Amino acid sequence: MFNPVSTYRIQFHKDFTLSDFEKRIPYFKKLGVSTIYASPLLAATPGSTHGYDTIDAQLINPEIGTLEQLKSITRQLKAEGISWLQDIVPNHMAYHPDNKWLMDVLEKGKSSPYYAHFDFVQPLNEANDAPLMVPFLGNPLEEIVDNGELKLEYANGKLYLNYFDSAYPVNAAGYEYVLGSIQNSSTNEQLQNFNKLENLEDAAVYSESFEKSLTHLEETLQKDETLTLAVDQQINTINDDKTLLSEIVGLQYYRLCHWQETDEQINFRRFFTVNGLICLNIHRKEVFNDYHELIDDLIKESYIQGVRVDHIDGLFKPEAYLKQLRELTGPETYIVAEKILEAGEAFPADWPIQGNTGYDFLAWVNNLFTRKDQEKLFTDFYQSFSGEGKPVHEQILEKKRFILSNYMKGEWKNLHKLFLMLNLATPNELSKIQPEDLKTAIGELLVHFPVYR
């Protein structure tokens, strides 16, 4: 196993690509770098400057370069005695129209083969079939429709609901809604294709049949000019009628809503309070395999010698994930995790990896260069302009309560619901306290949680 004694972090993005990096290999060699520590390289949202917002786990970001470029560069580095440590992000992906897995879920609902890839939850008092929140509107949906900012469109062989630059796919019920009002000899056959989907329970069969229905519709439209004009006219009619547009929006497996709604309720797990990052069920075998397919190939072909696992504390079972990763990558792959340790907390000894990314080491270095004898002077100076006289630990608790009650109320409600669903207290015990007191207690547990998770 290689030892990355001297690492150099490279932040790739559209303005610093693999080609830009390749020109600087002689410089890194002369500098004495033994390992390149690369930012996430998988396809990310357009223009991403960090890469932690993956949209395709099986593709190198085309804004950065190609798979062949990466392989060529790592071969050159290996010849110079320089290894490659790759940052990976198994906790989440981007909630973005370019995320094909997620858009397939929006289009096909629970019949999508990717439905189980994402961590969906149901808020308190919501039915099990509640539509998935799509919280990216600048105003409430009603205002968006009234202002004409949402449009139905047929493009690239599919129906979409377009909101500025974002296009969200329409489900089978949406196609029936559009085609059902058209009087044309070809319409009945198209309607039957989409109607038949309702009786298909197997996700793979449903997905295949849905795609065939879309292809058949597109081929028919290309040959039947009368039907094409009729569909265009029906789409225009829907767009011109706010009631009709609202009806087709209401048929979807998702609910377009204002971005601030997630302060109050939410039915998917996200990265902290970032609506644009939706979490994965990486603990499921099929999700793990799909997500790591490209990384696995690069490691087995010796293009990558190590990985850095981002946000390990967000995973359902960190230890189980790392054991899977170790089994996948083999005993010689260098693995570290971004593990945040509180003071006095030990790194888990049973994790089959080389360690963490060094936040604890940085804390020690910071302390080394901190003059503790100046603490009172510094604290007095801070209080003089902040007006804050409370001890730091009280401020931390206060800010945690603020975030929980103002921006994560939905997650808080979901945990309350989960507590009740799991029967963690008997009916007799619950009868002795007010429901709101139980919710408050759960909130205080979160606020006082002793470690970072």
Task: Identify the residue with better confidence: 164 or 5.
Answer: 164
Q: Which of 138, 325, 152, 127 is nearest to 232 (CA)?
A: 152
What's the pLDDT tens digit per position in 356-381?
999 988 988 999 999 999 999 999 99
- In CATH, what number is assigned to the domain containing residue 87? 3.20.20.80
Are both 359 and 316 inside the same structural domain? Answer: yes
**Each residue of 359-380: b (16+ CB within 10 Å) or e?**
ebeeeeeeeeeeeeeeeeeeee
Beta bridge partners of 132: 254
pLDDT higher at 321 or 379: 321
Annotate 160-224 with DSSP letters as a single string.
EEEETTEEEE--HHHHHHHHTT---TTHHHHHHHHHGGGG---HHHHHHHHHHHHHHHHHHHHH-
Strand partners, 282: none
Q: CB-hemisphere CA count at 13 Å for 249?
A: 24
Q: What does the pLDDT read at residue 184? A: 81
Q: Within this chain, do residues 30 and 150 fall inside the same structural domain, yes or no?
A: no
Looking at the fold, whether 190 and 296 belong to one and the same domain comes out as no
Q: Do 235 and 121 share a domain, yes or no? A: yes
Q: Would you place residue 293 in the very low, low, confident or very high pLDDT band (cuts 50, 70, 90)? A: very high
Examine the domain organization and report whether 16 and 138 are in the same domain. Answer: no
409 and 389 both lie in a single domain: yes
Please tell me the number of Cα atoms within 13 Å of 136 on its side-chain side. Answer: 21
The confidence score (pLDDT) of residue 183 equals: 83
- Considering the domain architecture, whether residues 21 and 71 belong to the same structural domain is answered as yes
- Residues 177 and 227 both lie in one domain: yes
Judgement on whether residues 36 and 112 belong to the same structural domain of the protein:
no
Assign 174 a pLDDT band (cuts: 50, 70, 90). Answer: very high
Q: What is the pTM of this model?
A: 0.94
Domain interval for residue 193:
100-271
Last residue of a domain, one of 271, 288, 304: 271
Question: Are residues 123 and 187 located together in one domain of the fold?
Answer: yes
Q: What total of structural domains would you count in the chain?
A: 3
* pLDDT in the model for residue 124: 46
Query: Considering the domain boundaries, does residue 170 fall inside one?
Result: yes
Residues 111 and 180 in one domain: yes
**Strands 274-279 and 92-94, sheet pairing:** antiparallel
Summarised one tens digit per residue, pLDDT across range 176-207 is 999 998 988 788 899 999 999 988 999 999 99
User: Which whole number is the average pLDDT over 402-421?
Assistant: 96
| d(C-alpha 390, C-alpha 397), whole Å | 11
Q: How many CB atoms lie within 10 A of CB 169?
A: 20
Looking at 366, 401, 431, the residue that finishes a domain is: 366
In whole numbers, what is the pLDDT of the chain averaged over residues?
A: 95
Q: Which of 271, 298, 328 is the last residue of a domain?
A: 271
Dihedrals phi, psi of 53, to nearest 5 degrees:
-110, 65
Q: Which residues pair with 9 in a beta bridge?
A: 37
Q: Under 8 Å CB-to-CB from 281, ≥6 apart: which residues?
A: 116, 117, 118, 119, 287, 316
User: For residue 372, is it within any domain?
Assistant: no
Is 45 domain-assigned? yes
pLDDT tens column, 90-147:
999 999 999 999 999 999 999 999 999 999 986 544 555 789 999 999 999 999 999 9
Same domain assignment for residues 48 and 84: yes
Q: Is residue 297 part of a domain?
A: yes
Mean pLDDT, range 27-36, rounded to an integer? 97
Measured CA angle at 228 (ends 227, 229), to 5 deg: 90
**pLDDT for the residue 291:** 98
